[in-house]
């Protein structure tokens, strides 16, 4: 979900002049064991790879598991190192302790250490096997095999995920209901990424977050971007390099456009991670970073590490044609139309996007016939209005979290949590317990 820079900028992979940070260090790691599973490279074509395999990483803990009656909580990994998600999804282990569950965090193919072709994984044509369908099949096979190995054939499985991972959790329940009894899809923009909705919504909502704290903020940001443009028009590239601590001096309008994209994404990251306490998910963020003047600088340093992670999928299945216009939002007018997407994807990945495929494959907004899915969203999250905000049936439930940022409900309990997320987690826990009980009866 976080590949906007890579798709909108003119030089998507020439980012040497943007300063980045090193890997994040964590304390008090949860009690997971890191393991590997021999995963099929291509689940759907028996000729291309035969039965070739790669090592898919997963994390597992039996610390809380009641082997006789406990469920399996399975996190559908998204675009990044699986440890990052395990270390920032404490609600799952807290709930596992309450409901005596086995916990598994599965890494998404092509990320972290789960590289089907090693260092050549992102080459063409090898990258062609980075698809939603292949990832779901990976998770389905891993669940099936681990249940067999662990003697857990009668243990109900609940899947969890946040953002793109939340989309995958919902899709797992839709695609493999024989394996998955229910899904918590947190901050899952299943509608906007399927090409549904207003392309102006995303950056309009980022702007609203800042205006909510300070109405004058949007005018200040507009003025700052105009100053960047003025310096660029006078080719004052030294000033831009100094002002933004760039490792390499910009030298063209294309570089300036890329800089604007990174700055826009820095504000986006602040809105997404506007948690009520300091976090270390994508770098070090203070509490309520939207309020903090120093946070934007930290966000600029941190945002590149996630900038290009999902771009191959965003050129095939996932539609991210979002735009800013400087009218309904505070950012420079920067479009990313379907035509621009086609041109970029053809040049960068040698593929033609398939508009509407997610609507066909995963039902678009016709989700009322699904069952046992929670769609949770926080109203501070710019991705929220690209997801399901209204309950569609007694078992397809929308939970809206006041003062909630990006999948806040998946994070572990904190004294600074708003009452809304505490209530949301209780509702989620109750629904999941019901689904587990129903599935246990079915399996028996």
Catalytic residues, by residue number, are: 163, 381, 406
Torsion angle of C-alpha atoms 62, 63, 66, 68, degrees rounded to 10: 30
Handedness of CA 88, 295, 223, 231 (dihedral sign): negative
Which residues on adjacent β-strands are paired with residue 184?
160, 374
Neighbour order of strands in the sheet with 102-106 = 33-40, 53-61, 102-106, 72-76, 157-162, 182-186, 373-378, 396-401
Run of H or E residues at 242: helix 237-243
Cβ-Cβ contacts under 8 Å for 280 (sequence gap 6 or more): 24, 26
Backbone dihedral region of 336: left (phi > 0), alpha (psi from -120 to 50 degrees) or beta?
beta
The phi, psi pair for 324, rounded to 5°, reads: -110, 155
Distance of alpha carbon 54 from alpha carbon 35, whole angstroms? 13
What's the length of the chain? 444
Smallest CA-to-CA distance from 201 within 358, 329, 317 is with 329
């Amino acid at each position: 979900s976080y590949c906007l820079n890579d798709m909108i900028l003119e030089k998507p992979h020439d980012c040497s002049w943007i300063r980045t940070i090193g890997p994040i260090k964590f304390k008090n790691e949860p009690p997971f064991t890191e393991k590997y599973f021999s995963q099929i490279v291509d689940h759907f074509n028996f000729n291309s790879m035969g039965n070739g395999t790669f090592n898919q990483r997963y994390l597992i803990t039996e610390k809380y598991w009641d082997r006789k009656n406990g469920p399996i909580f399975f996190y559908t990994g998204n675009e990044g190192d699986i440890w990052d998600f395990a270390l920032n999804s404490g609600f799952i282990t807290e709930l596992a302790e309450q409901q005596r569950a086995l916990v598994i965090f599965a890494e998404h193919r092509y990320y972290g250490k789960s590289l089907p072709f090693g260092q050549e994984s992102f080459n063409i044509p090898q990258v062609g096997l980075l698809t939603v369908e292949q990832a779901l099949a990976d998770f389905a096979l891993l669940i099936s095999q681990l249940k067999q190995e662990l003697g857990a054939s009668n243990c109900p499985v609940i899947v969890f995920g946040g953002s793109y991972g939340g989309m995958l959790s919902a899709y797992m329940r839709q695609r493999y209901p024989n394996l998955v009894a229910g899904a918590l899809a947190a901050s899952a923009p299943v509608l906007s990424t399927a090409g549904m909705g207003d392309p102006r919504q995303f950056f309009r909502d980022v702007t609203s977050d800042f205006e909510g704290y300070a109405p004058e903020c949007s005018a200040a940001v507009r003025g700052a971007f105009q100053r960047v443009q003025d310096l660029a028009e006078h080719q004052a590239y030294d000033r831009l390099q100094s002002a933004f601590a760039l490792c390499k001096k910009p030298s063209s309008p294309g570089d300036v456009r890329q800089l604007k994209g990174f700055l826009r994404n820095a504000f986006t990251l602040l809105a997404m991670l506007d948690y009520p306490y300091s976090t270390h998910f994508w770098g070090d963020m203070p509490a309520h970073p939207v309020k903090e003047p120093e946070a934007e600088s930290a966000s600029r340093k941190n945002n590149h590490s996630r900038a290009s992670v999902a771009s191959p999928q965003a050129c095939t299945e996932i539609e991210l044609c979002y735009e800013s216009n400087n009218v309904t939002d505070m950012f420079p007018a920067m479009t990313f139309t379907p035509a621009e997407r086609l041109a970029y994807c053809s040049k960068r990945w040698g593929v033609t996007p398939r508009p509407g495929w997610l609507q066909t494959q995963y039902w678009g907004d016709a989700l009322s016939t699904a069952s046992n899915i929670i769609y949770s969203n926080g109203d501070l999250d710019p991705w929220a209005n690209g997801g399901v905000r209204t309950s569609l049936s007694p078992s397809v439930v929308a939970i809206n979290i006041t003062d909630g940022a990006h999948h806040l409900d998946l994070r572990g309990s904190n004294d600074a949590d708003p009452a809304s997320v505490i209530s949301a987690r209780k509702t989620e826990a109750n629904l999941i317990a019901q689904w587990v009980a129903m599935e246990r009866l079915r399996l028996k």
